[in-house]
Amino acid sequence: MAESASHLQTDHLGAIATLADELKVPVQEVGAIFKSQFDRLAVQARITNYLVVLAMRNTRSILREGERRPSLR
């Protein structure tokens, strides 16, 4: 049975905490991005085994890309 995209499972919370620690970004910010990426991927996923890994990769890329952008101050 497919995993519910709207409910953050224990492994999701672990992935979010890991990314937040690795990238020194608040857990809430990582969680919001992770959830949006997970939900986006889950819509068309036929095999859900790797959704957490893919959502982590996308979240990491988004947050790292944000670090490289110059601030508009």
Note whether residue 49 is domain-resident: yes
Note whether residue 25 is domain-resident: yes
Please give the residue range of the domain that contains residue 26.
Answer: 10-64
Note whether residue 3 is domain-resident: no
Q: How many CB atoms lie within 10 A of CB 52?
A: 19
Note whether residue 39 is domain-resident: yes
CA distance 27 to 25: 6
Note whether residue 52 is domain-resident: yes
20 against 69, higher pLDDT: 20
Confidence of residue 49 (pLDDT cuts 50, 70, 90): very high
- In this prediction, residues 19-34 reach a mean pLDDT of 97
Domain count across the chain: 1
Average pLDDT of the chain to the nearest whole number: 86
Note whether residue 44 is domain-resident: yes
Note whether residue 5 is domain-resident: no
- In this prediction, residues 57-68 reach a mean pLDDT of 91
Q: What is the pTM of this model?
A: 0.79
Give the pLDDT score at 11.
85
